[in-house]
Amino acid sequence: MMPMVFFDCPTAPNPRRVRMVIAEKGLGIETREVSIAAGEHLVPGFLRINPRATLPVLVTEAGQALTETVAIADYLEALHPEPALMGRGIEERAAVLNWNAVVEGQGGRPVFDAFRNSHPAMQDRAVTGVRDYPQIAALAERAQDQVADFHAMIEDRLQQSPFIATDHFTLADITCFVILEFARVIRSPIPAGNRATLSWQRHIRQRPSAAV
């Protein structure tokens, strides 16, 4: 067995999701920072760990490299069940996985599409991975419209529920919170009239894990 190692990038949203999970569970995991801006995710040493060149990565004590945020969260939940970020029982777990996927698809994808297809730092890096792809302005414009729809969907949900998936804080809230915070880089903050979302955001910002 070997020590668990978390490969992180402080500026990227998906690694932040894992940092919040780790913080919520009060875990001490060895962390190594990988700078996407400096291209450190594309060097041979890192590609041997994750050939897809994405972050985050959690290398387990058995040496398995987990490269997907939900898989990492689920693995840590199995080792450290409390607090229950993946839901309590089969019904809540299904709700958390369902809403997390909705948030990733309806919010994360367009936010990241807008960012990667418009931000100067992403020139020729419009798609994750080892290959270079040019930016497409039309994709960024369409994504902005989709982000507006996402804001409306989340506001409607949070008018009905105190949290995204269940009646308590879960991975779905972490995912939504991080995506909405990252949306500032595409100049799409939570609309001023979305009072339920803004209240939820203020509540989560008070959690110690939100500072990581």
Per residue of the chain (212 residues), give pLDDT as tens.
Answer: 789 999 999 999 999 999 999 999 999 999 999 999 999 999 999 999 999 999 999 999 999 999 999 999 999 999 999 999 999 999 999 999 999 999 999 999 999 999 999 988 889 898 988 899 999 999 999 999 999 999 999 999 999 999 999 999 999 999 999 999 999 999 999 999 999 999 999 999 999 999 99
C-alpha torsion 138→140→40→175, nearest 10: -150
Q: Comparing C-alpha atoms, which of 142, 157, 128, 118 is closest to residue 51? A: 128
**Mean of per-residue pLDDT scores for the chain:** 97
Q: Report how far residue 183's alpha carbon sits from residue 159's, in angstroms, rounded to the nearest whole number.
A: 21
- In what order do the strands lie in the sheet containing 65-66? 30-33, 5-8, 57-59, 65-66
Sign, CA torsion 175/191/102/122: negative
Rounded to a whole number of angstroms, the distance between the first and last alpha carbons of the chain is 28
State what percent of residues in the chain have pLDDT above 70: 100
Q: What is the pTM of this model?
A: 0.96
Place of tokens 């490269």: 67
**Proportion of the chain in helix, strand, coil states, percent, rounded to 5:** 55, 5, 40
Q: Residues 126, 116: contact at Cβ < 8 Å?
A: yes
Tokens of 203: 């509540």
CB atoms within 10 A of CB 55: 24
